[in-house]
Structure 1
């Protein structure tokens, strides 16, 4: 991996003035509206993945990270051209079809070797996956396989596709991808169907970076440009940098992502993508790598048949988010997806999430995780969550209170994604910026919200209509008893 060279190059990159000057897009800020410090919420859906909306939490109210539910193995890497070292998976939801891309690699070797291929599977529900026999590339004397890229080293090492939602994108570039290593740089690819790929140009489009893990491209609706998030080394730590582009071919100088005052940890992959129900919000389910943190013994490693070079470390997944610009929020430092029971889950470079969170039911979404790395049992596993259910504001039976920052909104109804117990409930008050209740929307006039729904409007004695308050600075006050709120949105 030429680690020393990438460490030196990435450290120099971080120190460059361009890292602080190349601010291609501005993050969402609490500065729009009728007054200073007022959040212009508009009709955006907002999730409690950070403290963006929260001014105060009192009583038993707190923000809490959710834990996705293990739904089991959905895809085994058991073909001869796949194997123990499959990795860097991407799941794309395109209309009625789910598409899965991943590296096939039966034996460990040098990054970007000719032994690596890019494989493809598809599903109609995100749960049951099939390998279509595409007939594009020959492997071991047969073209009856699901390989979509082969014989083009080093690009199958970390081929990472995206579905481009940009308005007016040409049909033959509806799918785009980036791939390459530190030696080659990242090259651009395009496809009209997500299966047949061609390279755009002859040389790299991004040259500065380690590029020895998954390099994640996306279209940012909020910033109005393409973004790419990738790994760099800074003072020996695996960090994330980003670059931006208006055409996918010419990219800005990279900028190092910050975490504010939160500790720096090794993030092996970042898996940053626009959340499909709130695309202004970038969600990353990153692989947190703990180098040298050995959990299992040599005897356990031998018993599960893991490659001898791959049990000296361990990994899990953490939740990161961004509202644009060069900052990640790390409100939650604890593990989001933690290793399972058994030594096979505590080996090196396992528990690495696939790119993208996708809907898999009317009230459900899923993320996929690469597990049992370096073992004959390597596979992809599905984890499910309720829609918007990365995190929540929660209060217990004794009750608690959430007061928002000043905001303005558009719409007629305030909808919540919430749950309560049978004894619990939520009451909502709309206040003026100074904290006084607005007549008609006071706590005393609030109708208690009870139940468990991904979208229900709150109401007061006078009904649900909040449009008389639209465009006026206000605060929201939530009184919760044995209840949780995952997201809120003003709707028409």
Structure 2
């Protein structure tokens, strides 16, 4: 058998009317020499052209990708077809993607596998990955169809886009229709084709991707959502361009929150049950009617190699994960009240909540004043997992669980836990989505590694199958991963703070910004600029930063951002650095423990559109003026000024504001004439700014 071959010659080719050839690669040159080139994305392999085919052998974590475009405007009923030939002698995927087609928020993966016993199977990507060991990844082939992965098979994939962006992929193998496979959701709007191998020899030839039917152009879904939110009186931030028709002279700037000088506010060495970790794999909520912040955090007593501890008289592992509680009136100074609920090492004088039987990691708490049952006012969503230790009895559990409480301290576990039979190994998010009247959870459960999946529930008990919604991509670089993501529902948006793990380079975790308007399609903000940076090498947050569940808590004109941090990076390991009794052991302990801090930022201040002395302007999309309301702005014009104009579609000025100066958190805009006589179905706003920072605008 010839070794693997993949040939590409990338051009735009005119087909019949309404048709377009996106990709036509015939193997005459190596992919790296094609135009545009298939970029090398990692690993090693021996590549050659043999008989007009791309041959890949001696593979080690090898991948190439050709990126075709970014979809600016979505289409409904647009028909695509991808065809290619491929032979594979891989005995397993080893978590590689095989062939991966990405189109505007959807992905389809396929991988033919030749088993050691000579049988062949065909795998596809699911939420669980693209794995031989995962039953959901196995494609059911027709009973009378003989499939041999090692032969050069002809594959054809067709899909038709739809408004909901949840279409499937119709597959043919050697002219035999196999069926419609579900595909996967994927963040971003990229159009790309990739090949990833970790074993075997592969031959790929005649790769063609065509748009057979152009379809019906849709209004940009993000713009449509922004117009709805504007009509509802929600603030319009500049985390994306959804409501911006044009802008010039304005730079989108990420504004990192200001870290509190007194950090950490809850310390690892503050109590004996948290000397290893006081970590916000947990939640901080501001309860307005009580004018109080409440915190639930992971408390781990000791390092894994130290002596065990006891919980309610039962011996447990030294790094058992308790859920501790703290409260504050200002967000900076915290009390750890004695709850008297859990016996820790023979004493109930501690702030440990009575929550889960086994380790509860990443407790995401929702305060739900709508619930008529006061015993369910607080709801918790967490990963519960048993850690057997020296023969002590444990409850066999490893999945996502829930519990309920009247006060957030004494909890009742749901008797049918786990509610999602999948593990997480990280912090979770849970929140109420008021626009759709459902609870949403975000975490690693079902994501297939260090990625983010989502599930939803109307009652906090029955949860939908998890769906992958955010993962690192080729722009992040090799081995960068999304460790988790703090998520808050803010002014009609899902605002995410993804924890970016730079594995293999710095080994650190920092925090970026991401948003979603539909909870499924996530977009990274401002070209992935860091939002919460690591501290300096000697500072407590130099290495690893995680945020709380619902990390953005709004109090007046201030947003509190709660996070936990470790001074050392993710590569720390006691066996590599020091052991108890060694001279450097205390230094290692200090760098490896986790504590909790807070940062603050101006309301709506995540990003701003900044203008210099030369000035800049922004024009919104056309919108109907929202009833009997007045325009308000949030802008810092301390050293500058702003003028707002109401214009019609032709650009004619219908009204103009006074010159605005100073620092405006929530200021009404006064115009020089009434708008009552102006046709209001087709108005736009034009903001002219100089030497200022523009954060948001809204109507009320």
Check whether TM > 0.5: yes
Q: How does 1:161-172 map to 2 (within 5 A)?
A: 161-165=365-369, 167-172=370-375
Q: How does 1:362-441 map to 2 (within 5 A)?
A: 362-372=556-566, 375-376=589-590, 378-410=594-626, 411-422=628-639, 424-432=640-648, 434-439=649-654, 441=655
The answer for the alignment partner of 1:456 in structure 2 is 667
Q: Which has the larger radius of gyration?
A: 2
Give the number of equivalent residue pairs: 442
- CA offset digits 1:254-312 (Å, max 9, x no partner): 2221589883551212111112xx2x212122211111224xxxxxxxxxxxxxxxxxx
**Greater share of strand:** 2
2:329 maps to 1:124: yes
The answer for the alignment partner of 1:301 in structure 2 is none
TM-align CA RMSD: 3.1
The answer for the alignment partner of 2:382 in structure 1 is 179
* TM, length-normalised to structure 1: 0.81
Q: 1:19: how far off?
A: 4.7
The answer for the alignment partner of 1:223 in structure 2 is 436
Question: Hey, what's the Cα distance between the residues in 1 that align with 2:303 and 2:330?
Answer: 32
Long gaps (5+) in structure 1: 22-26, 295-312
Long gaps (5+) in structure 2: 1-93, 98-125, 138-180, 187-219, 306-315, 386-396, 569-588
* TM, length-normalised to structure 2: 0.58
The answer for the alignment partner of 1:300 in structure 2 is none
The answer for the alignment partner of 1:65 in structure 2 is 254
Q: 1:334: how far off?
A: 1.2
Q: How does 1:93-492 map to 2 (within 5 A)?
A: 93-95=286-288, 96-109=291-304, 115-149=320-354, 152-154=357-359, 156-165=360-369, 167-181=370-384, 184-208=398-422, 210-231=423-444, 238-258=450-470, 263=475, 265-275=480-490, 278=491, 280-294=492-506, 313-332=507-526, 333-343=528-538, 350-359=544-553, 362-372=556-566, 375-376=589-590, 378-410=594-626, 411-422=628-639, 424-432=640-648, 434-439=649-654, 441=655, 445-462=656-673, 466=675, 472-491=681-700
Q: 1:480: how far off?
A: 0.7
Q: Pick closer, same or farther for the CA change 1:466–1:162 going to 2, 3 Å.
A: farther
Question: Hey, what's the Cα distance between the residues in 2 that align with 1:38 and 1:142?
Answer: 57
RCO higher in structure (CA 8 A, sep ≥6): 1
Q: Pick closer, same or farther for the CA change 1:470–1:390 going to 2, 3 Å.
A: farther
2:129 maps to 1:11: yes
Question: Hey, what's the Cα distance between the residues in 2 that align with 1:217 and 1:9?
Answer: 20
Say which SS state the counterpart of residue 75 (structure 1) adopts: coil
Q: 1:378: how far off?
A: 3.6
Q: Pick closer, same or farther for the CA change 1:81–1:356 going to 2, 3 Å.
A: same
